[in-house]
Chains A and B, each alone.
Chain A
Amino acid sequence: MTKEARTPSLTRRTMLKAGGAAVAISGIGFPAIAEDRVFKIGYVSPQTGPLAPFGEADSFVIKTAGSILANGVKVGGKNVQVNIYTKDSQSDPNRAAEVAADLILKEKVDLMLVASTPETTNPVSDQCELNEVPCVSTVAPWQPWFFARGGKPDTGFKFTYHYFWGLEDVIAVFTNMWDSVPTDKVVGGLFPNDGDGNAWGDKEHGFPGPLAQKGYKLIDPGRYQNLNDNFTSQINAFKDGKVEIVTGVVIPPDIKTFWTQAIQQGYKPKAMSVGKALLFPIVIESLGDTGNNISTEVWWTPNHPFKSSLTGQSSKELADSYEKATGKQWTQPIGFGHSLLEVAADVLKRSAGPGDRKAILDAVTKTKLDTIVGPIAWGGPGPFKNVSKTPLVGGQWRLGGKHKYDLVIVDNKTAPNIPTGGKMEPIA
C-alpha cells in the first residue's frame, strides 16, 4: 500500500463519518453566517459497495466546489448560506431511497442532487418526484433513468431533471471507433443480467437494432450473472463466430476474468469497447500490460474544452487539482460531480430563497448553464423536457504516458468540439 493511495481514502472516511452522516460543511471552519434560514442540499451517491469507484471523487468535490457553495450564494442581494448533506447509498437502491426520504422528511432539503448509475439515481429521483422536491441527477444513461422509472415522453416528470448521454450515443461512439479499424464487422456482446446489461442488450432500445443497421453482426451468447468466474463458453462462442470486436457493459472483476481467460485460451479480438468497468484507470491497470488499446466511452477528460461556472477552472485545472489533492489519477466522475454543484449554485442564485421549493423548481427548469461537462439546459421535446444531453466521445487506454495507462480520445465524430489525442488502433 503506497502512502499516496492511502491518504485520500482516510480523508474521505474521516469526512464521511460512519453511516454517511451529513458532512457538516459549516464544521470545516466557516463562520456561521447569521441568517434565519439556510439553503439545504441533499447529495446522494454510492460511497461504499461495488459502485463506490463512481462515488470516489465526491469527497474531493464536496471539499472544493462544495466549500465555495457553503460560503453562500447571493439571492436578491443577500448572502444565503448553503448546507450540503451527503448520504451514502451503499450501492443499494433500497438504501438510496431510504436516505433520500430521510433528507427530504428530516432535513427538509430544498434541492436534491444524486449521481452514479441507475441503481442510485432512480430510487432517489422517485422519492423526490413523490415528495415534490426538485432533484437534479447525472451519471446514468438517460434511457434507464427515464424509461425504467415509467417516464412517458408526452408528460415526463415534474420534479426530476437529469443530464448525461444516452445509449444512442454510446452505440454511435463505439461503431465510429470500430469503423476506423479493419475488421470483419462481427461483434460479440458481453451483457450481464443487470439493469445496464439488459438495457444494452435489449432488442428494441439496445445495441442489436442499430448494430444491424450499421452493417455489424452481433453474436450475443446471452445474459450471464455478474461475478462470473468462467467465461469459457462466451470465448468459445466468439471464436466459433469469428468475432473480431467485443463489446458490453461489464463490472471490473469480470473484465479481468474474461480478458485473461480469453488470452490464455488463445482468443484476442481486434477491438474491445466495454462500458462501466473500463472507465476507471485502476481497473485497466489490473489487466497488467495486456490492456493497451482497449477502448471505452468517454464522458469527461481533462482535455474537454469546458470551464467551471463556479471556480472558473478549466477541465485540466480541475483534474490537476484532484491529482494534487489525492495523489490519484483523475477519473471521469470528477467533472460530473463538480458540475452537479455548479448547477445547484446556479439554481439557488435564481431562486426566491430557502424554503420556496416552487421557485427552486422553476429555476431548475429554466437552467441554461455552461458547465465543466458542457452546456446544460432542459425543456426540449419529449423526454428532453427532463433530460439534457452532454457530449460523448470514444477513447482508448494507452500505456506509457504520464500515468501507467492514459485515456486518449480517438473518436470525436459525435462531438467535434472535443479534441482527439490520437487515432484508433487495433489491439496488438
Chain B
Amino acid sequence: MDWVQVVIQGALLGGLYALFAGGLSLAFGIMRMVNLAHGDFIVLSAYIGLVIVQGTGMHPLAAIPFVVAIMAAAGYLLQRGLLNRVLGDDIMPPLLVTFGFSVIVQNLLLEIFSADTRGLQTGRLLTASLSVGAGLSIGWLPLITFAASVAVIAALQLLLARTSLGLAFRATSDDRTTARLMGIDTRHIYALAMAIAMGIVAIAGILFAVRTTFDPAGGPARLIFAFEAVIIGGMGSLWGTLAGGIILGVTQAIGFAIAPGIGLLFGHLAFLLVLFARPQGLLPRTRMEG
C-alpha cells in the first residue's frame, strides 16, 4: 500500500470538499443562515456549465467565469428577493425555504435535462498527470481543484480582512442592528455575501462536474461533506473550512486504504471526534475577522 499516494489523494479531494463548504461557511458566518439547497446549487452550476459548454464548445474550465457570474447574480437576487425576508431570530424559516429550493431545483433539472447522467469533457486534461518521482503521479485536475480551493479561500480572507466591503461584512455579522445604525445597508450586504457564496458554489460545481458525473438528484449527497468540513474547521472560519475539508479527505482516504467499506465511516468519526473534543471546531471564529 502506497501511503504517500493515499494521503496526497485524500488531501487533494479535501480541497474539493473545502470548495463545496466555502459558500456554506460564508453564508453561515455572515448571515447565520444554513443553506440546505447548497448541494443542489452545486449541481445546478454543473448544468449551467454544461449548457455553456455545449452551446459554445469552450473548455469547461474556461466556462467557470461565466457560470460564476450567472450564479452570483442569481445568489444576489435570491437573497434580496426572498431569503432576506425570512432571516430573523428564528433559524427555521430559512432552513425550510432552502429545503424547498432543494426540491424545486432537483425537479426543474429533471424536467429540463432528464435523469441522464452527464459529465463535462476536459479532453486530455482529464487524465493528464504530473510525475513526481518514486512511481508517484498526481493528476492535473485534482491539483488544479486544490489550487483553486486555496486561492478562493485566500481571496475571501483578503476580502474580509482588507477591504471596506469586508469590514461591512464583519460589522453586519457582529451586530446587524448597530451596522444598520452606522449606515450599512444590511440587506444589500447579505445579498452580496450570498452572491459571493454562490460564486464559490459555481467554481465547486464545475470542478466537481469534470471530476465525476452528475445527475439532477446528486446534490444532497454532496451536502454532508460540506457540512462536516465546515464544522470540523470551525463555524464561520474560512481557513478552518479548508483545514476541515483536508482533514475529512485524508481521514476518509486512510479509512479506504484500511478497508474500502470504512472510509466514509472514518470521515464521520473524525467529524464526531472534533465535535466531541472541540465543539467550536479547530479554528473557531465567533465573528468573521481577518
Q: Are B260 and A234 in contact (CB under 8 A)?
A: yes
Closest CB in chain B relative to A251 CB, distance in Å = 9
Given contacts A236-B257, A264-B142, A283-B213, contact A225 B114 (CB under 8 A): no
B277 within 8 A of A: no
A285 to B117, CA, bound (A): 10
B126 within 8 A of A: yes
- Residue ranges of B at the interface with A (Cβ–Cβ < 8 Å): 1-2, 5-6, 9-10, 13, 16, 50-51, 54-55, 110-119, 121-123, 126-129, 131, 135, 137-142, 211-215, 217-218, 221, 249, 252-253, 256-257, 259-261, 263-264
Partner of A252, one of B13, B117, B140: B117
Number of residue pairs spanning A and B whose beta carbons lie under 8 angstroms apart: 165
Partner of B55, one of A1, A50, A55: A1
Closest CB in chain A relative to B112 CB, distance in Å = 7
Partner of B116, one of A234, A264, A266, A282: A282
Q: Are A222 and B260 in contact (CB under 8 A)?
A: yes
A229 within 8 A of B: yes
Partner of A9, one of B5, B114, B121: B114
- Residue ranges of A at the interface with B (Cβ–Cβ < 8 Å): 1-2, 5-6, 8-10, 12-13, 47-50, 52-53, 55-56, 91, 193, 221-225, 227-230, 232-234, 236-237, 239-240, 252-254, 256-257, 260-261, 263-266, 280, 282-283, 285-290
Contacts of B217 in A (CB 8 A): 48-50, 91
A288 to B123, CA, bound (A): 6
Contacts of B55 in A (CB 8 A): 1
- Majority SS of interface residues in chain A? helix
**Could you show 30 A-B contacts with beta carbons less than 8 Å apart?**
A2-B54, A5-B114, A9-B113, A9-B116, A10-B112, A12-B114, A48-B110, A50-B215, A56-B114, A222-B259, A229-B252, A230-B13, A236-B257, A253-B212, A253-B213, A253-B215, A256-B119, A263-B126, A263-B127, A264-B137, A264-B140, A264-B142, A265-B9, A265-B138, A265-B139, A266-B129, A266-B135, A266-B137, A290-B126, A290-B127
Given contacts A222-B260, A257-B211, A266-B137, contact A236 B1 (CB under 8 A): yes
Contacts of B140 in A (CB 8 A): 264
Contacts of B141 in A (CB 8 A): 260, 264
Given contacts A52-B115, A252-B117, A256-B119, contact A229 B13 (CB under 8 A): yes
